[in-house]
Amino acid sequence: MRAESIHTYLEDNMQTYPKITIRNFGPFEHASLELKPLTILIGKNSVGKSLLAYLIWILTSTVPDFETLGKKVSKQNIDEIAKKVLREVGKGLNPISEVKSIIKMHIDALPHALISSLKELIPKALMTTLNELIKEGEDQATIRIEGPHALLELLIKDNDIKIIRHKPYAELIEELEVAVPRPSTLRIIHNDKVIVEERITSIRELVNLTIATLAYYTGKAFAPFFTTTEISALLPDSRAGLSRTLLRPYTPIAIAKNISYVDEEFINLYFRLAEHLDEGLIELDMLKPLLNELGYNIEVVYEKGIRTIYIETWSGKRLPIPLAPSGIRESLTVALALASMSEPKIVIIEEPEAHLHPRAQKHLAKLIAKSINTLGKTVLITTHSDYLIYTINNLIALSNIPEKAKQLGYQKDETLNPNIIAAYLIKPHAKKATIQKLEITNEGIPEDEFTKVAQELADERAEILT
């Protein structure tokens, strides 16, 4: 889906948030969560936070398999309808019902094309079979995806994925306007916005126009699900290690053979962001507090015809990213993704606090807030950092007392409205993972899990010293 579709979603659906629900998937018997502008998954290690984050990334970056789409549509009487459309449009006539019929055929076939992609992408991204993702002791799992206007529920069984339910955005088809402004030119309009206008003199050109309309439909119906890997980015928890070995203009063949799909996409993201930096598409002012805290500046360098990034440390040392300190290798791609004025619009970060000292975590939290408030990004993080949660809570509290925020030197776009945040606590219980939605107040997210550990340590220290 094109970037403008994400922008349209964010503008038109500020109070409508997408949702996923899973049953018997991984360690979860049941889990349901909304994807708000800031979504936080809290929990200790190995409870399923990463599985949920990866699944959301998969669902947001999956695009239809167009070969499957074409085969599904071709089983209907589309050829004769398409020929009629070409004839009438060529004469300057307007075949409204036929054009809408073709679009509807593609919308009806969309779930099958998505399933075809998911059957390949889920095992590749999670490095396992579909059957192994089903909860121990069960024989099937379900995934329910709810967008602003459409719903798709899938069944995983026998190493296959099938459709349980598909509720399309049928109203959009009715709302579409079809126009022929001149012979051989077709225009599709929705709510006074021109979706696409193309000269069509062949079946191929008509298909291209239909696919563009389908991309618009997907954006309205399901966004931010089913976009592209360019729009949705996953920053895995192995960033520092990956940056040391893989962020070079050319990766040695021996290493490249063993790169996972997730790692490969991380590398692609890094080089796209290096291009954004070179093209002036990174909000450098947003990055400065974090860069200053970590003691370095960045510059783009051409190596072997490819843009890459070098840093200059506080000591004057100039280094390529693979040789940078771990905190820089861990955080740079995260920071660039958050500050990019272009894609990605959906940024999913595993443990953003990794390798960062507490004050750097504070600056990263403020960068996340700015990214959401000024660039319209959707950010999902997994974390078990008390420092990060405490900072986010401060940003939430300050959003309700602007005079205090100003007094403490916080800009308005560095605070966080509690209404745009969803937080979930994930815990193990009786051989399954449970997910609890946390109530977010004007004071922030409940800190019970973190204060409980702090109290245990304080009690232990008191016992040691008595």
Cα 122-123-126 angle, rounded to 5 deg: 80
Question: Could you tell me if 69 and 185 lie in one domain?
Answer: yes
Residue 453 pLDDT more than 70?
no
Structure tokens at 18: 């997408």
Q: What is the mean pLDDT of residues 309-332?
A: 91
Alpha helices in 238-357, H assignment, sequence order? 239-246, 253-256, 261-278, 284-294, 326-339
Pick the last residue of a domain from 164, 199, 222: 222
Contact 51, 26 (CB under 8 A): yes
- Establish if 428 belongs to a structural domain: no
| 406's tokens | 């100003």
Q: Is a pLDDT exceeding 60 seen at residue 15?
A: no
Helical H segments across 295-401, by residue range = 326-339, 358-375, 386-399
How far is residue 433's CA from residue 458's CA, in Å, rounded to a whole number? 28
DSSP sequence for 126-166 = HTS-SGGGBPTT-S-EEEEEE-SS-EEEEEEETTEEEEEEE
pLDDT at 75 over 90: no
When pLDDT is averaged across residues 399-411 and rounded to a whole number, the result is 92
**Whether residue 68 sits in one domain with residue 204:** yes
Q: 446 pLDDT exceeds 90?
A: no
For residues 176 and 154, membership in a common domain is answered with yes
- Check pLDDT > 60 for residue 256: no
Q: What is the DSSP letter of 383?
A: E
Could you tell me which residue, 42 or 306, shows the higher pLDDT?
Answer: 42
Domain membership flag for residue 43:
no
Using an 8 Å Cβ cutoff, are 203 and 86 in contact?
A: yes
User: What is the pTM for the complete model shown?
Assistant: 0.91
* pLDDT for 465: 80
Handedness of CA 145, 338, 441, 11 (dihedral sign): negative
In a domain, 80, yes or no: yes
Question: Do 127 and 167 fall into the same domain?
Answer: yes
Residue 460 confidence (pLDDT): 67
Q: How far apart are CA 194 and CA 214, in angstroms?
A: 14
Q: Tell me the pLDDT tens digit for each residue of 288-304.
A: 999 999 999 999 998 87
Q: Report helix, strand or coil for 375.
A: helix
- What is the CA 294 to chain-centroid distance, rounded? 27
370: nearest Cα among 393, 343, 341, 403: 341
Residues 215 and 287 reside in one and the same domain:
no
Model confidence over 368-392: pLDDT tens digits? 999 999 999 999 999 988 899 999 9
Whether the per-residue pLDDT at 11 is higher than 50: the answer is no
User: Does residue 302 share a domain with residue 346?
Assistant: yes
Q: Are residues 262 and 400 in the same domain?
A: yes
Average pLDDT of the segment spanning 353-371: 94
Q: Pick the last residue of a domain from 416, 440, 457.
A: 416
> Minimum mean pLDDT among 62-76, 200-214, 443-457: which range?
443-457
Selection from 123, 131, 119, 138 nearest residue 157 by Cα:
131
- Do 314 and 279 share a domain, yes or no? yes
Regarding whether 252 and 212 lie in a shared domain, the answer is no
pLDDT band at 119; cut points 50, 70, 90: very high
- The whole-number pLDDT of residue 100 equals 96
| Domains of the chain: total | 2
pLDDT digits (tens, 9 = 90+) for 78-87: 999 999 999 9
Q: Which of 398, 368, 392 is nearest to 380 (CA)?
A: 368
Q: C-alpha dihedral over 450, 456, 459, 461, to 10 degrees? A: -90
Over range 157-178, report the average pLDDT: 96
Considering the domain architecture, whether residues 242 and 203 belong to the same structural domain is answered as: no
Position 318 in a domain: yes
Mean per-residue pLDDT for 397-419?
93
Dihedral sign, CA of 112, 114, 115, 119?
A: positive
Q: Are 339 and 283 in contact (CB under 8 A)?
A: yes
CA distance 398 to 226: 35
- pLDDT at 255 exceeding the cut of 80: no
Which residue range is the domain that position 354 belongs to?
A: 232-416
Stronger pLDDT, 307 or 140, i.e. the higher one: 140
| Residue 253 pLDDT grade (very low, low, confident, very high; cuts 50, 70, 90) | very low
Among the ranges given (42-56, 158-172, 249-263), the one the predictor scored with the smallest mean pLDDT: 249-263
Q: What is the C-alpha separation between 458 and 463, in angstroms, rounded?
A: 9
- Residue 438 inside a domain? The answer is no
Q: Which residue stretches of 22-153 are H helix?
A: 49-61, 66-74, 78-90, 96-126
Higher pLDDT, 466 or 126: 126
pLDDT band with cut points at 50, 70 and 90 for residue 2: very low
Q: What is the mean pLDDT of residues 419-443?
A: 92
- Within a domain: 422: no
397 and 326 co-located in one domain: yes
Indicate whether 226 pLDDT > 50: yes
CA distance 292 to 286: 11
Q: Is residue 333 part of a domain?
A: yes
Whole-number pLDDT of residue 361: 95
Per-residue pLDDT tens digits for 321-356? 888 888 899 999 999 999 999 999 999 999 999 889
What average pLDDT does range 247-274 have in this prediction? Answer: 77
Interhelix angle 239-246/326-339, nearest 10 degrees: 100
pLDDT for 5 equals 38
CA distance 27 to 383: 18
- Strand 160-167 to 232-235 pairing: unpaired
Let me know if residue 41 belongs to a domain: no
pLDDT on residue 240: 82
Whether 238 and 354 share a structural domain? yes
